[in-house]
Amino acid sequence: MTEIQRRQLSDPEALKALAHPLRQRLLTHLQRYGPATSATLAAEFDEDRGATSYHLRQLSRFGFIEVDVDRSAGRRKFWRAIPLDLRLPSRAVNAEAEAAATEIDRQWQEHGERELAAFLANEDDFGPFGDAALSSIGGTTLTAAELAAFTEEYVALLTRWRREPDQAPDGARHITVIFHAFPTPRSSEAR
């Protein structure tokens, strides 16, 4: 099992680097499907190879991905995601970092919602995976400290089940997990 490093994103430059939409797509692809070259990723996303290579280097510069030296040869570099538990800051150090964190959070939320909608629209096409999937809503009453502990237990559970794409058994596929735990707004706050 690959160890996952917890990373609280606080560096404004790293936040800005991660907020770029193409970089988000590149990172997500590497996390889900494993190592790839800039050429493969450029073709996947219909992007310029030079621009894709630049964005991969930026992700590497800020420690989100790295060169997979075992697969790379000569000028042909394979990039791989570094297993990270990425955490956005609750309060950023400045307005620029706050804007970048807000943008990352927006992209994560929209991405998850698009995937959920696509699954629900075609649930029957997923066979036993569709049967095993679950959408649920619930709630409880917690203190702020208990909510923090609950969140860490959830992350630990997800981490326990995490594996690299090349370590997955036959028949496995990537599973999207969306988690929200937040104080329930009162009726007047939710308007």
Residue 95 or 59, more confident: 59
**Is residue 56 over pLDDT 60?**
yes
For residue 27, how many other CB atoms are within 10 A of its CB?
A: 22
3-state secondary structure of 6: strand
Which tokens go with 47?
């992007």
pLDDT at position 187:
72
DSSP classification of residue 124 = G
Domains of the chain (ranges, CATH numbers)? 5-134 (1.10.10.10)
Tell me the per-residue pLDDT of 107-149, one tens digit each, with 9 for 90 and over. Answer: 999 999 999 999 999 999 999 999 999 988 999 999 999 999 9
Residue 182 or 24, more confident: 24
Pick left, alpha or beta for residue 168 (phi over 0 → left; psi -120 to 50 → alpha; otherwise beta).
Answer: beta
Q: C-alpha distances in angstroms, 168 versus 57, 59, 150, 173?
A: 27, 25, 28, 8
Instruction: Report residue 46's pLDDT band, with 50, 70 and 90 as the boundaries.
Output: very high
Mean pLDDT, the chain, whole residue set:
92
- Rounded percentage of the chain residues whose pLDDT exceeds 70: 96
**Is residue 43 over pLDDT 90?**
yes
**Is residue 3 over pLDDT 90?**
no
Instruction: Report residue 190's pLDDT band, with 50, 70 and 90 as the boundaries.
Output: low
pLDDT at position 10:
87
pLDDT at position 75:
87
